[in-house]
A = this chain, B = another copy of it.
Protein backbone atom coordinates (compact mmCIF):
# COMPACT_ATOMS: atom_id res chain seq x y z
CA UNK A 1 0.00 0.00 0.00
CA UNK A 2 1.41 3.36 -1.02
CA UNK A 3 2.37 5.69 1.75
CA UNK A 4 0.12 8.49 0.53
CA UNK A 5 -2.91 6.27 1.12
CA UNK A 6 -1.67 5.31 4.53
CA UNK A 7 -1.19 8.95 5.37
CA UNK A 8 -4.76 9.55 4.33
CA UNK A 9 -6.00 6.68 6.46
CA UNK A 10 -4.02 8.05 9.37
CA UNK A 11 -5.75 11.38 8.86
CA UNK A 12 -9.12 9.71 9.24
CA UNK A 13 -8.06 8.24 12.55
CA UNK A 14 -6.65 11.59 13.49
CA UNK A 15 -10.03 13.13 12.81
CA UNK A 16 -11.58 10.62 15.20
CA UNK A 17 -8.84 11.10 17.77
CA UNK A 18 -10.61 13.64 19.90
CA UNK A 19 -13.21 13.07 22.59
CA UNK A 20 -15.48 15.82 21.33
CA UNK A 21 -15.44 14.53 17.77
CA UNK A 22 -16.16 11.00 18.94
CA UNK A 23 -19.07 12.38 20.90
CA UNK A 24 -20.32 14.18 17.81
CA UNK A 25 -20.06 11.08 15.65
CA UNK A 26 -21.88 9.00 18.25
CA UNK A 27 -24.64 11.56 18.58
CA UNK A 28 -25.03 11.52 14.82
CA UNK A 29 -25.40 7.76 14.56
CA UNK A 30 -28.57 7.06 12.68
CA UNK A 31 -29.92 10.60 12.85
CA UNK A 32 -29.32 14.12 11.76
CA UNK A 33 -28.64 16.99 14.14
CA UNK A 34 -28.07 20.70 13.67
CA UNK A 35 -24.88 22.38 14.80
CA UNK A 36 -26.90 24.09 17.50
CA UNK A 37 -28.38 20.85 18.80
CA UNK A 38 -24.90 19.35 18.99
CA UNK A 39 -23.64 22.39 20.82
CA UNK A 40 -26.47 22.15 23.31
CA UNK A 41 -26.14 18.41 23.91
CA UNK A 42 -22.39 18.67 24.36
CA UNK A 43 -22.47 21.90 26.33
CA UNK A 44 -19.45 23.36 24.61
CA UNK A 45 -18.67 26.70 23.06
CA UNK A 46 -20.25 27.37 19.72
CA UNK A 47 -16.95 28.18 18.00
CA UNK A 48 -15.34 25.06 19.35
CA UNK A 49 -18.08 22.74 18.09
CA UNK A 50 -17.91 24.47 14.77
CA UNK A 51 -14.17 23.89 14.54
CA UNK A 52 -14.58 20.22 15.30
CA UNK A 53 -17.31 19.99 12.68
CA UNK A 54 -14.94 21.62 10.23
CA UNK A 55 -12.40 18.88 10.90
CA UNK A 56 -14.98 16.14 10.39
CA UNK A 57 -16.19 17.85 7.22
CA UNK A 58 -12.65 18.26 5.87
CA UNK A 59 -12.10 14.52 6.19
CA UNK A 60 -15.59 13.90 4.84
CA UNK A 61 -16.71 11.89 7.83
CA UNK A 62 -19.90 13.93 7.96
CA UNK A 63 -22.03 15.66 5.38
CA UNK A 64 -24.07 18.78 5.97
CA UNK A 65 -27.38 19.97 4.67
CA UNK A 66 -28.45 23.57 4.93
CA UNK A 67 -32.05 24.18 5.89
CA UNK A 68 -32.86 27.82 6.24
CA UNK A 69 -30.99 29.24 9.11
CA UNK A 70 -29.49 25.99 10.27
CA UNK A 71 -27.00 23.38 9.13
CA UNK A 72 -27.81 19.75 9.74
CA UNK A 73 -25.09 17.15 10.01
CA UNK A 74 -25.13 13.42 9.48
CA UNK A 75 -22.53 10.72 9.09
CA UNK A 76 -21.51 10.26 5.51
CA UNK A 77 -21.01 6.49 5.46
CA UNK A 78 -22.35 3.93 7.96
CA UNK A 79 -19.04 2.11 7.74
CA UNK A 80 -17.64 4.72 10.09
CA UNK A 81 -20.45 4.04 12.52
CA UNK A 82 -19.53 0.38 12.30
CA UNK A 83 -16.00 1.29 13.25
CA UNK A 84 -17.26 3.13 16.29
CA UNK A 85 -19.50 0.21 17.18
CA UNK A 86 -16.53 -2.15 16.95
CA UNK A 87 -14.65 0.17 19.25
CA UNK A 88 -17.43 0.00 21.78
CA UNK A 89 -17.22 -3.80 21.69
CA UNK A 90 -13.49 -3.56 22.15
CA UNK A 91 -13.92 -1.40 25.22
CA UNK A 92 -16.50 -3.62 26.81
CA UNK A 93 -14.27 -6.60 26.23
CA UNK A 94 -11.28 -4.95 27.84
CA UNK A 95 -13.07 -2.83 30.36
CA UNK A 96 -11.02 -4.00 33.29
CA UNK A 97 -7.70 -3.26 31.58
CA UNK A 98 -9.12 -0.01 30.34
CA UNK A 99 -9.90 1.15 33.83
CA UNK A 100 -6.47 0.21 35.10
CA UNK A 101 -4.90 2.04 32.18
CA UNK A 102 -7.02 5.08 32.85
CA UNK A 103 -5.80 5.22 36.41
CA UNK A 104 -2.20 4.89 35.37
CA UNK A 105 -2.66 7.58 32.77
CA UNK A 106 -3.98 10.39 34.94
CA UNK A 107 -1.95 8.59 37.44
CA UNK A 108 -3.36 10.09 40.58
CA UNK A 109 -7.07 10.30 41.27
CA UNK A 110 -9.57 10.91 38.52
CA UNK A 111 -11.72 13.89 39.48
CA UNK A 112 -15.36 12.79 39.81
CA UNK A 113 -17.51 13.71 36.84
CA UNK A 114 -20.64 15.69 37.38
Contact = CB atoms under 8 A, between A and B. Distances in A.
B2 A22 contact: no
Contacts of A55: none
A41 interface: no
B98 A8 contact: yes
A102 B4 contact: yes
Contacts of A97: 60
Tallying the copies of this chain within the complex gives 2
A61 B88 CA distance: 15
A80 B90 CA distance: 8
Contacts of A3: 19, 113
A79 B26 CA distance: 19
28 contacts: A1-B23, A1-B26, A3-B19, A4-B102, A4-B110, A4-B113, A6-B19, A7-B19, A8-B98, A8-B101, A8-B105, A9-B19, A9-B87, A10-B18, A13-B13, A13-B14, A13-B17, A14-B17, A17-B17, A60-B97, A77-B90, A77-B93, A79-B86, A79-B89, A80-B90, A83-B83, A83-B87, A86-B86
